[in-house]
Chains A and B, each alone.
Chain A
Amino acid sequence: MPAYNTIAFHADRCDGCGKCMIACAQAKSASDSPRRARLEVLADDAGRFELTMCRQCADPECVQSCPAAALAKNAATGVIEWDHDKCIDCLLCTVGCSFAGIALDEAAGHVVKCDQCGGDPACVRACKPGALEYLTMARIYDEAGSLEDLFVQGLSACQGCNTELIMRHTLRRVGPDTVVAAPPGCVPGMGAVGYNGLTGTKVPVFHPLLTNTAPMLAGLKRVYKRKGRQVTALALAGDGGAADVGFQSLSGAAERGEEILFLVIDNEGYMNTGMQRSSCTPYGAWTTTTPVGRESHGKSQDAKNLPLLMVGHRCAYVATASTAFMADFYLKLDRALQASKTGFAYLHVYSPCTTGWRFPSKKNIEVARKAVESNFVLLWEYTPAAGLRLTRSVDDPVPLSEYLVALGKYRHLTPEQVAHLEQHIAENVAAIKRHALAEAAAPPASTRPGISSAGALQGPPASQA
């Protein structure tokens, strides 16, 4: 069964302005009266807002309650469609619906319901605070679900491994005309590059040195291009190989604009070899080489900001992503893939490690989400033409403690260390904002990549110059 796009309501962002209802009434009833709208925002006594609108149920009761077959769920869009010609105005659909998603419009004399404006909801467009959001995750679910999983079942990753999730999603999306290079780390460690004659990957896969993933792929890609063949060169590298010992070759390939999709899975250290420190390990974090003892209390330096360093290379595309924000991740994956056809595309995906960071495996996505919500991890993207822009607001973060408390590797932190981290995050946010502002001054906003209101991808960043 396919998934469908949906209109989400973030009550905490709603200011009750009512513009959504007016926009709906205008779009659907040629009226300025919110009473003619097909959605209603209501305030309770405490000033909190609730939304009433059709939820486009998967198993809609209204459809079953219609004696005239005037309601039907569109299998392609998921929208429950109402047929004026068939409707007999019996109102039985309004009995079937528990959400008041279909209701009598007295002025019209018949029932009305939300049809999502054919994929470009007027209410969402009118909602300035972003309380209404048109979620197009369904596209991902349906598309990714229909694509072949190019890794075998049962890779030997740790329970709840986020990296496996990233790998599988990435390769599904990137597709079979791909050569994967996975330098030493968790990706090969879980069997992706093959072991004793068996391989866990259905596309050609290579286990390069920790140091030479990018140039090895560069050579490969150049030859295929020379032969006129479309082959995606995909690196699935860890933060250690990319930011530390492999940084030179990564930098070189980026500078030369090699047409590679270089995806870094950042689990903040050498998790595969037993949780040693890398330059991406955050300040204060326990690792086996930054242990907690009488004289030291975890890592004493801040993490290297590798994605920002890649911006310094003016890559065709640079972005950070998190599996807690899959729509964003997929969007960036699409753009990175597109950009990799003409230049170096760099995607930095944060990947909490249940084993190395010391937290229960079931909490992986929660940890990933808290990392972003607390600004410990910032989500942004960059193209040379459009510059850097935050893809998720950094304003109003949740307290850092909500993130730190979940992780064993920060259990020992002193208040001073927490303060240091908070300071570091503040500096990070400021730095990224400065970048974003500086870049924003240059090109017109219309050239920026982003989701159009219809939820469709705009053209690839590389073609927006």
Chain B
Amino acid sequence: MEQTHYLIAGASHAALAAMHAIRLVDADGSLTVIGRDRELPYSPTLLPYVVSGRTDPQRAFLRDHEYFTRARAAYRCGHALVRIDPANRVAELDDGSRLRFDKLLLATGARPVIPPIPGLDAVPYHVLRTLEDALRLRAQLPQTRRAIVLGAGLVGMHAAENLSKGGARVTIVEQQQQVLPGYFDAQAARIIARAFERADVTIRTGARALAIEAAAGGVTLRLADGSAVSGDLLLISAGVTPVIDFLADTPIQCDRGVVVDATMQTSVERIWAAGDVAQAASFYGAHPVLNGILPNAVEQGRIAGMAMAGDRALEGFRGAVPLNTYSYYGQHAVSVGSGAAPPGAEVVESSDAESARYLKIILDEGRLHGIFAINTPIDPGVMWQMVRRRLDLSAVRDRFLAQPRTMGRLLMSSLLR
């Protein structure tokens, strides 16, 4: 049976960060990366831009074959893990081949959630998680007149903008009361939504889909308030869920995702998980959370790789911090940290509808809890560090609130000189 010291299932950000971390300390240990897609590694984050045509898919790959060759790693693409035998440390691929591993990283990511809407299985619809999805959706664009985007998360919003710019009349249908729920608060969401509305995108928030039926040349979505939305293209963008079904008959503990400790190790020794598939500690609470964002995948992948390679410089995961950047119609929104202000926290908020600027800062016991900005320059990486280091800002509170970017830069420059 083929053997590999390191087996990495998945080939996106978490997987690549882990491989990089491993190779920093172990140049020679055999390493195999299993990629689900037939292509070289790419980022799902990029897909809306493939749809819009802004990104040439052939230039979007995160690594080339030479990278794997130089790193003395085997890249096996077009395959997925279908079964794991943790006791014997054997992984089985979808082509029936088996691999014995010493250390396994599950970085298998997530797949789109398909909401249980009656009739959905009987109509054509799109999702946007793979390059194949993106190309299919893109091929559909020229003949699309009216598009329905179900779900106003980042994928849905990006897609809506691109579909709209491509000439389609777009309606976004979101079950919750605002767009981008969980990313931005209601007021920020309103500012963002306004930009869409100005571009003639229809946004239907608080709209629960009851049923879907085929219509002439498309679909009709029936909503709980009795109204209906029709379109010739339906995109389901109702979020993602970790790919864990192949772990069902293993002792690897799963909740919504694969539950991991601070070194990204699962409940089974020698098996780690990182990225969208992992459910790790939250920075803000005891309960482990999914945090399907790119910076999180990079950080967790690195930690897992360091743990797998026995890198002594490893520091444990400090907990997931929500981090989002979002650019739309030439405008920019950033969110770092939690928008849920704890009791007693200081919340400072300012906005200017005219310039579409918005800034909300939450300080908890003098420390940054969360910061949300639209068209207001801040450095999200600096803010993230301030949050996770729990920097005491009491002494510079006023200046920080007035000039978060300048103060953040000053503090981080002096800290990390």
Note whether A and B contact each other (Cβ less than 8 A). Answer: yes
Do B377 and A103 touch (CB < 8 A)?
yes
A4-43: CB near B (< 8 Å → 1, else 0) gives 0000000000000000000000000000000000001010
Residue of A nearest to B296 (CB): A95
Chain A residues with CB under 8 Å of B323's CB are 95
Docked CA distance A106–B408 (Å): 18
A84-98: CB near B (< 8 Å → 1, else 0) gives 011011111011111
Chain A residues with CB under 8 Å of B295's CB are 65, 92, 95-96
Q: Is B384 part of the contact surface with A, judged by Cβ < 8 Å?
A: yes
A54-72, CB < 8 A from B: 59, 61, 64-65, 67-69
Q: Is A44 part of the contact surface with B, judged by Cβ < 8 Å?
A: yes
Chain B residues with CB under 8 Å of A216's CB are none
The contact of B382 among A44, A90, A98, by CB within 8 Å, is A98
B149-182: CB near A (< 8 Å → 1, else 0) gives 0000000000000000000000000000000000
B42-65: CB near A (< 8 Å → 1, else 0) gives 111110010000110001111000
Q: Is B412 part of the contact surface with A, judged by Cβ < 8 Å?
A: yes
Do A91 and B62 touch (CB < 8 A)?
no
Q: Is A104 part of the contact surface with B, judged by Cβ < 8 Å?
A: yes
Do A69 and B24 touch (CB < 8 A)?
no
Docked CA distance A42–B396 (Å): 15
Q: Is B369 part of the contact surface with A, judged by Cβ < 8 Å?
A: no
A65-84: CB near B (< 8 Å → 1, else 0) gives 10111000000000000000
Residue of A nearest to B64 (CB): A69
Answer whether A92 and B45 are a contact pair too, CB < 8 Å, given A40-B409, A64-B20: yes
The contact of B61 among A64, A69, A100, by CB within 8 Å, is A69
Do A68 and B414 touch (CB < 8 A)?
no
Do A68 and B60 touch (CB < 8 A)?
yes
Q: Is B406 part of the contact surface with A, judged by Cβ < 8 Å?
A: yes
Residue of B nearest to A61 (CB): B298
Docked CA distance A68–B327 (Å): 15
Chain A residues with CB under 8 Å of B330's CB are 109
Answer whether A69 and B381 are a contact pair too, CB < 8 Å, given A44-B414, A50-B409, A109-B330: no
Do B409 and A52 touch (CB < 8 A)?
yes
Do A69 and B410 touch (CB < 8 A)?
no
Q: Is A203 part of the contact surface with B, judged by Cβ < 8 Å?
A: no
The contact of B325 among A40, A51, A86, A91, by CB within 8 Å, is A91
Answer whether A90 and B380 are a contact pair too, CB < 8 Å, given A42-B406, A98-B385: no
Do B327 and A86 touch (CB < 8 A)?
no
Q: Is A224 part of the contact surface with B, judged by Cβ < 8 Å?
A: no
Do A94 and B409 touch (CB < 8 A)?
no
Docked CA distance A459–B54 (Å): 49
The contact of A98 among B16, B42, B60, B412, by CB within 8 Å, is B412
Docked CA distance A89–B408 (Å): 22
Do B416 and A99 touch (CB < 8 A)?
yes
The contact of A59 among B24, B332, B379, B409, by CB within 8 Å, is B24
The contact of A94 among B16, B43, B49, B379, by CB within 8 Å, is B379
Answer whether A96 and B24 are a contact pair too, CB < 8 Å, given A67-B46, A68-B60, A91-B334: no
Docked CA distance A109–B294 (Å): 22
Chain B residues with CB under 8 Å of A51's CB are 413
Residue of A nearest to B380 (CB): A95
Q: Is B146 part of the contact surface with A, judged by Cβ < 8 Å?
A: no
Docked CA distance A106–B332 (Å): 9
Residue of A nearest to B302 (CB): A64
Residue of B nearest to A64 (CB): B298
Chain A residues with CB under 8 Å of B377's CB are 103-104, 106
Do B45 and A100 touch (CB < 8 A)?
no
Chain A residues with CB under 8 Å of B336's CB are 95
Do B60 and A69 touch (CB < 8 A)?
yes
Answer whether A68 and B416 are a contact pair too, CB < 8 Å, given A91-B327, A91-B332, A94-B379: no
The contact of A88 among B16, B46, B385, B396, by CB within 8 Å, is B46
B364-387: CB near A (< 8 Å → 1, else 0) gives 000000000001010111101100
Do B55 and A99 touch (CB < 8 A)?
no
Answer whether A94 and B410 are a contact pair too, CB < 8 Å, given A59-B24, A68-B49, A104-B377: no
Do B379 and A100 touch (CB < 8 A)?
yes
Do B381 and A67 touch (CB < 8 A)?
no
Docked CA distance A52–B49 (Å): 31
A403-444, CB < 8 A from B: none
Docked CA distance A393–B255 (Å): 65
Do A97 and B381 touch (CB < 8 A)?
yes
Do B46 and A50 touch (CB < 8 A)?
no
Chain B residues with CB under 8 Å of A42's CB are 406, 409-410, 413
Docked CA distance A325–B52 (Å): 54
Chain B residues with CB under 8 Å of A69's CB are 59-62
Do B45 and A52 touch (CB < 8 A)?
no
Chain A residues with CB under 8 Å of B13's CB are 64-65, 67
Q: Is B320 part of the contact surface with A, judged by Cβ < 8 Å?
A: no
Chain A residues with CB under 8 Å of B54's CB are 88
Docked CA distance A89–B332 (Å): 9
B57-77, CB < 8 A from A: 59-62
The contact of A50 among B20, B24, B382, B410, by CB within 8 Å, is B410
Chain B residues with CB under 8 Å of A86's CB are 55, 59-60
Chain B residues with CB under 8 Å of A61's CB are 298, 381
What's the nearest-Cβ distance from chain B to residue A69, in Å?
A: 5
Docked CA distance A104–B334 (Å): 11
Do B381 and A95 touch (CB < 8 A)?
yes
Answer whether A99 and B381 are a contact pair too, CB < 8 Å, given A68-B49, A86-B60: yes
Do B298 and A103 touch (CB < 8 A)?
no
Q: Is B17 part of the contact surface with A, judged by Cβ < 8 Å?
A: yes
Chain B residues with CB under 8 Å of A98's CB are 381-382, 384-385, 412, 416
B303-347, CB < 8 A from A: 323, 325-327, 330, 332, 334, 336
Chain B residues with CB under 8 Å of A91's CB are 325-327, 332, 334, 380
Do B382 and A100 touch (CB < 8 A)?
yes
Docked CA distance A449–B308 (Å): 53
Do B409 and A65 touch (CB < 8 A)?
no
What's the nearest-Cβ distance from chain A to residue B53, in Å?
A: 12
A99-139, CB < 8 A from B: 99-100, 103-104, 106, 109
What's the nearest-Cβ distance from chain A to residue B262, in Å?
A: 20
Scoring A88, A92, A95 by chain B CB atoms within 10 A of each residue's CB, the highest score goes to A95
Chain A residues with CB under 8 Å of B49's CB are 68, 88
The contact of B381 among A40, A50, A96, by CB within 8 Å, is A96
Given contacts A50-B410, A95-B380, A96-B298, 4 further A-B contacts (CB under 8 A): A44-B410, A68-B43, A97-B382, A104-B377
Per CB-CB distance, the 4 closest pairs between chain A and chain B, nearest first, are A67-B43, A91-B325, A67-B45, A50-B413
20 sample A-B contacts, Cβ–Cβ < 8 Å, listed by A number: A42-B409, A42-B413, A44-B410, A50-B417, A52-B409, A52-B413, A64-B16, A67-B45, A68-B49, A69-B60, A69-B62, A91-B327, A94-B334, A96-B298, A98-B381, A98-B385, A99-B413, A100-B379, A100-B382, A100-B412
